Amino acid sequence: MPYCSLRRAFAIVVLMGAASCQRADVAPAADLGIVGEWHWVSSRGGLTGKQAYTPASTGSTDTWLLRADSTYQRRTTQPSGTQTTETGTFSLGSIKSVYSGQPARALVLRGKQSQTFVIQELGSRLVVADNYYDGFGHTYER
């Protein structure tokens, strides 16, 4: 009998835990002003934090097209031409930032591979950072 009571108590705790979970509020993409075409300006970071890349230094450009239906397209332009390098969906939400240890706005791209960025600035510029140590910060402009 004690085993049965233990199983019952465990089941109750699990059910109470599941019932207390709340879904995080996610604002529609259009409401946050992230929808649009974003052109890559620079990336900085890496192990030393001093690695820097720009379209001029790499010979290529990167454009994100974020649509109101939460789909995105990533286009890369090199001397050989422009091609769509990735498509998928995106969402906005919250994530614990490795930089501050606090909840921060996040952009999640789900394409070939899922990528999560901390949103550091959103206005005429979009500044996102990889949410891991030695990552890069990336700046885009409309």
Model confidence pLDDT, tens digit, residues 78-100? 989 899 999 999 999 999 999 89
45 lies in a domain?
yes
Per-residue pLDDT band for 132 (boundaries 50, 70, 90) equals very high
8 lies in a domain?
no
65 lies in a domain?
yes
Domain count for the chain: 1
Model-level pTM? 0.76
Boundaries of domain holding 90: 26-141
1 lies in a domain?
no
11 lies in a domain?
no
Say which CATH number the domain at 100 has: 2.40.128.280
26-52 tens-digit pLDDT: 555 555 699 999 999 999 999 999 999
pLDDT beyond 80 at 1: no
76 lies in a domain?
yes
Q: How far is CA 119 from CA 8, 60, 96, 126, 141, in A?
A: 44, 23, 12, 8, 14
40 lies in a domain?
yes
Enumerate residues 6+ apart whose C-beta is below 8 A from 104: 94, 95, 96, 97, 118, 119
